[in-house]
Structure 1
Amino acid sequence: MKILFIVPSYKPAFIYGGPIVVIARLAERLVRLGHEVTVYTTTANGHEELAEAVKTPVLVDGVSVYYFPRITGDHTHVSPALWKHTWKTVKSYDVVHIHSWWSFLVLGASLMCRLRGIKPVLSPHGMFCDYVLTAKNQAKKKVLHNVIGKRLLKHTYLHTSSPMEWNECLRINHSWKGANVFNLVDLPTVTYPRQENDVFTISFLSRVDPKKGLDILLLALSKVPFKYKLQIAGSGEEAYVTELKTIVSTLKIEEHVEWVGWKNSETKFPFLANTDLFALTSHNENFAIVVIESLYVGTPVLISNHVGLSGYVEQNRLGWITGIHDIEEVRAKLTLAYNDKMERNRITATARDIITRDFNENKLAGDYVTLYQSSGTAKKVI
């Protein structure tokens, strides 16, 4: 099958976090299954641009990637060159898979597909959750949706990565047809040794961003009745990191909190394996690959009920789920996780096998192929 991905940014622009990894992993696995995958993207790399050749195919881990220049250096990612190339070539692909939403780049590419009679698969990657809809540029998003967005969405086939995201999307377009398939997660083949910590050690690994609810976690930890150490791995806007450090100081918990910096693909797994609990009290996550990564190395998780994988974690008894609107509830769940060492040991012993079963990449990539074939968007199968 000849498959086209259209996405605002692509590796090595890892500054954008998990979606970059997820999208690239899927593209690479589809290639390994014998499909031809091409990516149309921009040189976006935060406020800077990637130093990649533009308007010409670059082979990136088996995937043919076209990087197009953008004329805006912000999240709109406006790229007339990408739109023009999409218009000229989009009908030559069997399936078009668009990732993300709200940026002018994606809206323009969707319009090109609509005008050329192509019905793409759309993976919003959490762009229709309440937090995203209300946290930033709410008025602009409402205008975009009413003027052009909802018309374009009617001509897409929806893909989500969790039941929570599916329900959020149906609030935007109740007549959407589509399917739910887990994201692919890049998991190592090695086993990481675990250690017995002198102090109960909690890990956080993600972008340091208001969405992640770190302030909620800090407030709850300041009230727990046990000794702990919180290791925060990640980077974020300097102003927000400073704000969090002020909270830590105000709560007088500096001796319990360590800022350990960003962890790359090689260092994050041993980091997670050396902690007793992973915590993510996020306001919203359509998936959260770090939850799967943590469980894979045997570390139980405590996550909010706004994390897409919360249902999966609860169903498979892999950790603790908490609401985030009541700090006392978060404190109580943290205390429960601390006190139940037998349950933590059980999760450590069983989690890797469960994750290996459910996140087999060949199986999941095959599920995407089935999604493409059943969507009515695929012209043919080669």
Structure 2
Amino acid sequence: MKILFIVPSYKPAYIYGGPIVVIARLAERLVQLGHSVTVYTTTANGKTELQVPVGETVMVNGVAVKYFKRITKDHTHVSPALYRATWKTVRDFDVVHIHSWWNFLVIGAAMVCRMRGVKPVLSPHGMFCDYVLTANNSKKKQLIHNTIGKGLLKNTFLHVSSHMEWQESIQYNPKWKDDGAMVFNLVDLPVKDYTRKSNHVFTISFLSRIDPKKGLEILLYALARVRFNYRLRIAGSGEDEYVQKLQLLVQELDMDDKVEWAGWKGPEEKFQFFAESDLFVLTSLNENFAIVVVESLYVGTPVLISNNVGLSKYVNEKNLGWITGIENIDEVAEKLTATYHAQEERSRISREARNVINNDFNETKLALDYVELYENSK
């Protein structure tokens, strides 16, 4: 099968977080299964550009990637060169898979597909959640949807990675109820084992981009109300101004001696970081999936996540952790206290989680599920 991915950015533009890893992992696994995958993307790398050959095919771990210049340096990623290439070649592929939404790059690509009589698969990667729709330029998004977006979405087959994302997306296009499917994201999990650490103090970890969306303030306020001894390790990076705001909050809550700013953790470091924790916490305002949840469970660390995290239904059904609302700080504090006292349950999760994750997130199985999804999208 010849497959074309159209995505605003591609590795090594890791500045854009989890979706970059997820998309690349899927492309590479499909190639390993014998399929041909081409990626059309831009040189976007935040406010700068990737230093890569432009307009030429570059082989990246078996995937044929073409990076095109963008004429805007912001999140719109407008690239006339990519549109021209899509127009010329889109019919040469068996499947076209568009990733993301709301930026002009993918909306323009979707328009080209419709004009060329091609129905693409669309993975919005959380772009239809309430948080994204209301947090930034909500009026512009509504205008785009009402003028061109609604028609373009009707010409797509929906792919989502979680039950929550499914519910959010079909509100935007009810037609997807009969024209879409859910398949988990692929997660890059190491083969090696990680030794779990026995901590004298209950150790809670956070690892992600440090951003208001991640709900770190909620976690800090909740921890200020618990009555047990703990240590909170915060790993990740973010805008200096926001990180400083959080550091000031830690001081105001008199938690300096309990909070460690662990810095960014790379692919190798992060799994050991999880393994050294008794509990991973993610009280996000919204996450359509959350790779870190799978990564933490893989090394046997139980999770406490908000009900706004896409994998919350999965964690609850598999009994791999605790789910909390985040509207009430007392509820979060009570759930933290419950996990602290549930030592036997945490031990059970530590023993069983890896086998569950290995079964449910087997990359070959998931990649075959994507192939079936592609076949059903036609």
Q: Matched residues in 2 for 1:112 and 1:263: separation?
A: 40
Q: Secondary structure at the match of 1:5?
A: strand
| Amino acid across the alignment from 1:101 | W
Amino acid at match of 1:190: K
Q: What SS does structure 2 have at the residue aligned with 1:207? A: coil
Which residue of 2 is the match for residue 173 of structure 1? 173
Does 1:4 find its partner at 2:14? no
* Count of matched residue pairs: 376
Cα distance in structure 2, aligned partners of 1:128 and 1:42:
23
**Alignment partner, residue 334 of structure 1:** 336
Give, in whole Å, the separation in 1 of the partners of 2:286 and 2:318: 21
CA offset digits 1:203-248 (Å, max 9, x no partner)? 1111001111011001001111111111111111111111111211
Residue 93 (structure 1) aligned with residue 93 (structure 2): yes
- State the match for 1:245 in structure 2: 247
1:199 to 194, 201, 208: 201
The residue aligned with 2:26 is 26
Q: Choose from 310, 313, 333 the match for 1:311.
A: 313
Counterpart of 2:141 in 1: which secondary structure?
A: helix
Q: What is the DSSP-based 3-state SS (H/G/I as helix, E as strand, rest coil) of the residue aligned with 1:266?
A: helix
What is the CA distance between 1:142 and its match in structure 2? 0.8
Instruction: Give distance in 1, aligned partners of 2:241 and 2:174.
Output: 39
Could you list the per-position Cα deviations for residues 48-90 of structure 1 after superposition, in whole angstroms to 9, with x for gaps in the alignment?
1000001000000110000001111111111111111111111
User: In structure 2, which of residues 355, 374, 377 is the aligned counterpart of residue 375 of structure 1?
Assistant: 377
Q: 1:111: which partner in 2?
A: 111
Structure 1 spans left out of the alignment, 5+ residues = 377-382
Counterpart position of 1:154: 154
Deviates more, 1:37-46 or 1:247-256: 247-256
Q: Which amino acid aligns with 2:249?
A: I
Q: Does 1:345 align with 2:352?
A: no
Looking at structure 2, the residues matched to 254 and 100 of structure 1 have their Cα atoms a distance apart, in angstroms, of 39
Tell me the distance in 1 between the aligned counterparts of 2:197 and 2:123.
Answer: 39
Q: Which 4+ residue blocks in structure 1 deviate beyond 3 angstroms?
A: none
Whole-Å separation in 2 of the counterparts to 1:93 and 1:36: 9
User: What pairs with 1:40-189 in structure 2 (closer than 5 Å)?
Assistant: 40-176=40-176, 177-189=179-191
> Counterpart in 2 of 1:380?
none
2:282 corresponds to which of 275, 280, 283: 280
The normalised TM-score by structure 1 is: 0.98
How large is the RMSD of aligned CA atoms in angstroms? 0.6
> Could you say which residue in structure 2 is the equivalent of 1:379?
none
Unpaired runs of at least 5, structure 2: none
- C-alpha deviation, 1:174, in angstroms: 1.0
1:169 Cα deviation from its structure 2 partner: 0.2
**Partner of 1:256 in structure 2?**
258
| Per-residue deviation, 1:17 | 0.5
C-alpha deviation, 1:375, in angstroms = 1.1
Residue type of the alignment partner of 1:88: K
Alignment of 1:289 onto 2:295: no
Per the TM alignment, residue 315 of structure 1 is displaced from its structure 2 partner at its CA by: 0.5
| Partner residue in 1 for 2:303 | 301
TM-score (norm 2): 0.99
Describe the superposition over 1:277-329 as per-residue Cα deviations: whole angstroms up to 9, x where unpaired. Answer: 00000011110010000000000000000001001100110000000000000
